[in-house]
Structure 1
Amino acid sequence: MSTPRQTISGEMPSFLTSGVPAYSSRSRSFALPSAQRRGSAIANAIGLRKRNEIEIVLDGETDFVHSYSTYDEINGHVDLRFEKDTSFDDVNVTFEGQTNTYVEKIATTAPTTGRTTGRHTFLKVQQPIAEDVLPENGILVAGVTYTLPFTFVVPDRLLPFICSHKVDIDEIRREHTQLPPSLGDPSVSGDGHILMDDLAPDMSKIVYAIRARVTKWNAIGRLLELADKSERIRIVPGKEEAPPVNIEDSESDYVMRKEKSVKKGLFKIGKVGRLTAETTQPRSLRLPHPQKRQIEPVSTMATIDLRFDPASPDDLPPQLDSIVSKMKVYTFFGAAPYKVIPEARRHDNWSTLNGIYPESVPLSSRALSTVSWVRHSGTERGESFSSSDLSRRPSGFSTMSNSSFPEPSCAYEAGSLFYTAKLPVPIALPTSTGSTRPKVFVPTFHSCIVSRTYTVEMNISFRTPGTNVSSSHVTLKTPIQISSEGGTPPSQIQETEAAIAAEIAQQFGLYEARQLEEAGLSLESPVYEENPSQGLLSGTRHMSLADPVPSHSSPTMQSGVDSSAPPEYRAGAYSTYGARDRLGGPRTQAVSLPAPPQA
């Protein structure tokens, strides 16, 4: 058997094969990264493995899952304890967010197969560490516990350079710089008490974690990792309802209006008229704050307008039987970034760089026997009308008037009478009760390599008057958004990117002025201070410390940045991470694997 080969490239691999990825099922078991896999208990017991040197403790209630939203503070502390005296150069405590995807590629002729993976580190915020917390001599004494408190604030957006790839319109880039929710990790997909299914496949995962890392530089300038520990948390960012989706009837997967002929009799011989159904995009389903317990289900309301144009004045409208609604959940994932908002109909099933995973969730089903039709004369043309304008109708029809009605069907003749009806359709997300694994929904979002959208399908069944068997049905598909409630923003917050850039320039200016003063030049050096009342500056750095805390000294080998620099912008701390963990746009990696043995 040949040894698997791995090729890493920042560009699109040129040797990708054509194949149809099979995403019909998904596993409930997610593999942890190698850095977070736990060793066996036997190996720990006999001393073959070291005990954990780092312990991350989060403040708050001891819920099963620690959940946060936009502007929430993440408080806790890191405990460092080593079994023997350990020399170190740097200790980093960061709040990180990373997206991981993969797309299977199937070779039809070659003896190997594999996958193309995508990795995107979109968030990394560093906690300043006071000088008096760690020993000055750079040696952690054996058996002594060093406690490092931390406070992070969940940002409301990402830095602009996080989305650096090409996009078709600027709106895509604005979507990609919004904070995405936690996705695809069953260890945090819950409401604090029970694990839930967030309807994501194995091929997409968005993970947030508090990470503590102790490193040291060796004699040849290579960075050694002494200890590394991550504690995953659940992030559900605040998401406001966006404007309605721009739907193009010729290319869109949505069906906002549908016409269908109503056949005559049980054997459907002849036509009694034409039925038209149309709807509009409903208001969003708004999720509560992840730390709140909501008893009532999250719900909204959709409305379907019906119109029946009879073939003759004697033909009556069809009898409505029932309406069944369900939600289609689409998770889009890719090893290459998206230039447009992904849609199910436009997805290329043969693509080896992008994939789609659909799930269907039943919502409700109810009878429509009590819905009444309203009869209108052919002279009615206004948007509204009163009951006095209606002609005489049988007792089975309603006398109430509607404020509007659909446009005529293709079979309508001017001046003919027609019938209308209005169907309110309640839409509610399933609750977490029941014997099956409960579902948890995340807000609608679009990131560089992962997106989540929702569609509601409403199926109306009807039958011809005088028959007892449901003869036909009409289905509408409308987009629906899921928004979410965020935390309380600070009283003073700068919203524009120009203000963010100005502050960054100011902080670097203070740092350069300090260096000139130390060099002996006569130049005043203002004092760098943090203002806790400003809160978080649009995701660039957290300002949650009550008092300014200086960072501990960093070694000169880390890039020559002196410890007097502002702590949030110390380049040395970020350069200690590998290329796969650096901030920036998504990175693509092609991995070739041996083909499975043939039976």
Structure 2
Amino acid sequence: MAASVVSRSSSSFDTFAYRSRPKVTIELAGQKDGLVNSYTTGDCIEGSVTVTAEHDTRFDEIEITFEGTSKTSVERATMPGRTGAYQTFLRLRQPLEPSAYPTPCVLEAGRAYEFPFTFVVPERLLPHACSHKKTNIHVERAHTLLPPSLGDPMLASNGKTLLDDLSPTMSCIAYLIHASVLRKPASATPAKSLASAGKKVRVIPMVDEEPPLNITDNEDGYCIRKEKNVKRGAMRSKLGRLVVKASQPKPVQLSPPDSATSDSVSSAATIHLRFDPVSDDEQPPRLGTVWSRLRVSTFYSAEPWGDFPSLVCPIVWAHMGRGSYTETVPLSTMCVALAQWTKHSPATSTTGSLGRCDSLQSTSSDESLAGPTACFAGGVYYTASVVVPITLPKSKAFVPTFHSCLVSRIYALDLTVSYHTPNANILTPSASLRVPIQLTCRPRAATLPKPTEVEITQQEVDAEFFTPRTVTSSTTVPESELFLVGRRQPQFQQPPEYSVIPAPNVPVLQTNMSPRV
């Protein structure tokens, strides 16, 4: 009878406790009102979870996790509707000692229970986060790097100013701290969540520079070299042929989140031009204006990418459950009318090729210059170079270049050069290029390796450099030189973890060895 009363009381207690859910709040260290906490690789995410209940509530476990998720949505091409994918690529769990829980595990009414947590933003993901099939051996390394937060305007900056991160609504990468109050039933069914809460954080990981892309002149999606005929007018004779070429510039290094540095986020691209006239008397065209624009492309898919996405065949992707979204951001407009052409005759070009190169000039620097055109006959030609600064506007939020299983982000630089011919044209002729460019994120200054400092006293300096030394033919080292000899010889120090292992006894090599019996 008593057992039935206890059972009935316990059942009614559980029902009543389930109806009055506990309240879970998450507080982050350094949290400011109206701002979103931002982190990068190696940062510690510290805070606490506070649980309160209006009535006594039984529980079994408090689960605190740091999660990273990716979500995509793609319009179907064959039938109306959408398809998508959801992936939890990161899940770090905060271990809690049994002593952190009250005894018994009951949340008393009106009492606050605080559980601290600490997470470290990792540099890489575990291998099982990218277990799909791949057609490129380098995909797994790229997919196991931590992707940045993407697709949430509140997380594009510090949360105080809404900035556009140039991503579509069909893709989203989010990080959050999640806390749950779990109750495990008596049966083998999964644990039930009595209450839960989540707090979003912004993560911009540290990204190193990758090797430049190997792009040919006829590469689809990019154009690093272009040739055009230069005419006196629309219906007039040809003056010559113009070549415009540019290589992949150095990456733009983004500052880490909440960085106090005032350095401008910029890089530079160099446009090399060459003009091959039809005759030695023809002069090169006068340059006009250079426009630069940043092309931002986001790729998303309902299935994991087996290879790196490219800018080709975006229409075919709709039948494969994939999509892309591209926006163009204007960067700069600069007048280059004062740019000077350098004349090269066959004699100077021959002697110049035999001359010595600067020690700071790479042996492959000629590859970045605009080569001769197909109609070049070996006569006079002209060359010029224009340096285009690349500075990202502060009105947009940019993330580093990355590739993940479902979402990727790449950047390209559009460069357009206009020129003027001797006779005025209705439309100003121009030549356009599209070169790839990377966006990286440098680490915090506190995480950079510091050089080891060795303090040397003045006595050691005097003993090392100003003490007279005796030169003798004897093999015996004087006692006065023992200190100097010891200082000159490099000393090998074992790592601390190997200090407990005794050094092996090395046998002495004998000159006269008797045969073993």
TM-score (norm 1): 0.67
The equivalent residue for 2:429 is 472
| Deviation, structure 1 residue 131 | 2.5
| Deviation, structure 1 residue 303 | 0.3
* 2:340 counterpart of 1:372: yes
* 2:330 counterpart of 1:362: yes
* 2:223 counterpart of 1:255: yes
For 1:165 and 1:230, the matched residues in 2 are separated by 29
3-state DSSP of counterpart to 1:117: strand
The equivalent residue for 2:414 is 457
For 2:51 and 2:352, the matched residues in 1 are separated by 71
Equivalent of residue 240 in structure 1, options 208, 216, 222: 208
Equivalent of residue 104 in structure 2, options 108, 113, 137: 137
Equivalent of residue 427 in structure 1, options 381, 385, 390: 390
Change (3 A) 1:194 1:294: farther
Tell me if the contact between 1:305 and 1:406 (Cα under 8 Å) persists in the aligned partners: yes
Tell me if the contact between 1:463 and 1:469 (Cα under 8 Å) persists in the aligned partners: no
3-state DSSP of counterpart to 1:351: helix
The equivalent residue for 1:97 is 68
3-state DSSP of counterpart to 1:187: helix
Equivalent of residue 247 in structure 2, options 268, 272, 280: 280
For 2:399 and 2:415, the matched residues in 1 are separated by 22
In terms of mean alpha carbon deviation, does 53-62 or 232-241 score higher?
Answer: 53-62
Amino acid in the other structure paired with 1:93:
I
* 2:186 counterpart of 1:224: no
Change (3 A) 1:417 1:322: same
Work out the number of aligned pairs and report it: 418
Tell me if the contact between 1:57 and 1:78 (Cα under 8 Å) persists in the aligned partners: yes
Q: Deviations over 1:446-490 (max 9, x none)?
A: 001100000000011112124375531100110000000224559
The equivalent residue for 2:148 is 181
For 2:292 and 2:382, the matched residues in 1 are separated by 24
3-state DSSP of counterpart to 1:486: coil
| Deviation, structure 1 residue 50 | 6.6
| Deviation, structure 1 residue 406 | 2.1
3-state DSSP of counterpart to 2:142: helix
For 2:322 and 2:145, the matched residues in 1 are separated by 21
| Deviation, structure 1 residue 228 | 1.0
| Deviation, structure 1 residue 133 | 2.4
3-state DSSP of counterpart to 1:132: helix
Amino acid in the other structure paired with 2:412:
T
* 2:374 counterpart of 1:410: yes
3-state DSSP of counterpart to 1:202: coil
The equivalent residue for 1:582 is none
For 2:265 and 2:157, the matched residues in 1 are separated by 16
For 2:427 and 2:382, the matched residues in 1 are separated by 20
Tell me if the contact between 2:77 and 2:318 (Cα under 8 Å) persists in the aligned partners: no
Tell me if the contact between 2:135 and 2:307 (Cα under 8 Å) persists in the aligned partners: yes
For 1:452 and 1:382, the matched residues in 2 are separated by 46
| Deviation, structure 1 residue 349 | 4.2
Equivalent of residue 313 in structure 1, options 280, 283, 290: 280
Equivalent of residue 335 in structure 1, options 284, 296, 302: 302
Tell me if the contact between 1:335 and 1:353 (Cα under 8 Å) persists in the aligned partners: yes
For 2:155 and 2:372, the matched residues in 1 are separated by 51
Tell me if the contact between 2:414 and 2:433 (Cα under 8 Å) persists in the aligned partners: yes
The equivalent residue for 1:191 is 158
Change (3 A) 1:382 1:454: farther
Tell me if the contact between 2:22 and 2:51 (Cα under 8 Å) persists in the aligned partners: no
The equivalent residue for 2:55 is 84
* 2:127 counterpart of 1:170: no
Tell me if the contact between 2:21 and 2:194 (Cα under 8 Å) persists in the aligned partners: no
| Deviation, structure 1 residue 219 | 3.9
Q: Which runs of 5+ in 1 are unaligned?
A: 1-48, 387-402, 432-437, 493-532, 535-599
3-state DSSP of counterpart to 2:381: strand
TM-score (norm 2): 0.77
For 1:383 and 1:147, the matched residues in 2 are separated by 75
3-state DSSP of counterpart to 2:140: helix
For 1:218 and 1:382, the matched residues in 2 are separated by 88
| Deviation, structure 1 residue 129 | 1.4
* 2:214 counterpart of 1:214: no
For 1:331 and 1:276, the matched residues in 2 are separated by 31
The CA RMSD measured in Å over matched residues stands at: 2.3
Tell me if the contact between 2:274 and 2:383 (Cα under 8 Å) persists in the aligned partners: yes
* 2:30 counterpart of 1:60: yes
Amino acid in the other structure paired with 2:26:
I
Highest Rg: 1 or 2? 2
3-state DSSP of counterpart to 2:386: strand
For 1:486 and 1:60, the matched residues in 2 are separated by 20
| Deviation, structure 1 residue 245 | 1.1
In terms of mean alpha carbon deviation, does 315-324 or 403-412 score higher?
Answer: 403-412
3-state DSSP of counterpart to 1:170: coil
Amino acid in the other structure paired with 1:269:
R
In terms of mean alpha carbon deviation, does 124-133 or 421-430 score higher?
Answer: 124-133
For 2:398 and 2:21, the matched residues in 1 are separated by 37
Q: Deviations over 1:423-447 (max 9, x none)?
A: 001011002xxxxxx3100000000
The percent of aligned pairs where both chains have the same amino acid is: 41
Change (3 A) 1:440 1:253: same
* 2:393 counterpart of 1:441: no
